[in-house]
Amino acid sequence: MATLFDYTSKTIIVTGGGSGIGQAMALRFAQHGAHVFIVELNEAGGRETADRIRAGGGQATVVPCNVANHAQTREAVQSILDQTGHIHVLVNNAGVAHIGTLESTSEEDFDRLFQVNVKGAYNMMKHVITPMKEQGGGVILNMTSIAATLGIPDRFAYSMTKGALVTMTYSVARDYINDNIRCNCISPARVHTPFVDGFIKANYPGREQEIFEKLSKTQPIGRMAKPDEIATLALYLCSDEASFITGTDYFIDGGFERLNT
């Protein structure tokens, strides 16, 4: 019988694969046979992910890179092509968060978020699109957020970047549909990652458990998502089994969008 979600002999790039959701996706793709290239500014985190993949018998390579840097991303993509000859899947996961309203967001904050979350995705897509066209197709998956389309308090600049990424997804899907290149995005609600724990500890010392439960219950399902749950959706959307899906923003939010009242 055929195996579902078979990534054997496929080359997959995961940006920001050194922790959290990116790490979970890198591990999941590798478990299904892919050679995962972890494009990561945090080399130590990237190496940790790669070591875990190799310990499980998988293939992983760390590519140090700042996705906000156009030249570095070009060199990173070329180095992967030199090693494998193909790029079958690009997952734009690298990103930075920010808490703040319009008034409290500085110009430096705004520019930093734009450079990483928007330009970083542009840089990576810009450099993989031609090789994907030349090889006859490929898949691009962008990690966005429910903040892209819903009004979330204190997320002014972050919401701006994620909204841009949603519309970039639609444009790429439309422009390259005849090149057999699919492009989708995933919009999670809160996901329990080290970033969440760090944010709570830094801003609510002594109240960690209380705040964690409060944030968890903002999702109607009553908890935060697990990184593995996001990774499973990514595994499907980038697979051959999802070949009819393109130009779609997938909410994985515990009912946040439709069930909150």
State the pLDDT at residue 2.
Answer: 60
Residue 1 lies in a domain: no
Q: Domain check: are 115 and 219 in the same one?
A: no
Choice among 158, 170, 204, 236 that is catalytic: 158
Residue 55 lies in a domain: yes
- Identify whether the C-beta of residue 38 lies closer than 8 Å to the C-beta of residue 26: yes
- If one counts the domains in the chain, the total is 2
Element (H, E) at 143: strand 138-143
> How many angstroms separate the most distant Cα atoms in the chain?
58
pTM of the prediction? 0.95
Q: Domain check: are 22 and 134 in the same one?
A: yes
pLDDT above 90: residue 143: yes
Q: Domain check: are 67 and 125 in the same one?
A: yes
Q: Is 39 helix (H, G, I), strand (E, B) or coil?
A: strand
Q: Domain check: are 118 and 203 in the same one?
A: no
Q: Domain check: are 206 and 232 in the same one?
A: no
State the pLDDT at residue 202.
Answer: 84
Active site residue 170: no
Residue 236 lies in a domain: yes
What's the domain range around 220?
A: 192-224
Q: Pick 186 or 152 by higher pLDDT.
A: 186
Supply 201's token pair: 């500890």
pLDDT above 80: residue 1: no
- Give the span between the Cα atoms of 116 and 146, in whole angstroms: 18
Residue 232 lies in a domain: yes
State the pLDDT at residue 203.
Answer: 80
